[in-house]
Amino acid sequence: MGACAASADDALVTVSPDSVVHNLQRQDYHHISLPVRSGRFYEVKAINRQGHKIKLYIDAHSGRIVDVKR
């Protein structure tokens, strides 16, 4: 009685925030903020190769960039 049911997202393995930052550094992003978890995504602010401030949305399970906004 009273046991909490975990969501399907909670059961999946997630990429660590440190791994997100490391992967973005390898892709030439700079001044990377700490990743903030929002649902199944991490939100990260950074500066891209062209020097533009951007916001990246990273899938927390695969580590892939799913969206970039300026």
In a domain, 28, yes or no: yes
Structural domain that includes position 37: 12-69
Taking the model in full, what pTM does it have?
Answer: 0.81
What pLDDT was estimated at residue 11?
A: 61
In a domain, 18, yes or no: yes
What pLDDT was estimated at residue 28?
A: 97
Number of domains in the chain: 1
pLDDT in tens, 16-65: 999 999 999 999 999 999 999 999 999 999 999 999 999 999 999 999 99
Amino acid sitting at position 66: V
In a domain, 1, yes or no: no
| Residue 3 reports pLDDT greater than 50 | no
In a domain, 17, yes or no: yes
In a domain, 3, yes or no: no
In a domain, 27, yes or no: yes
CATH at residue 46 = 3.10.450
In a domain, 29, yes or no: yes
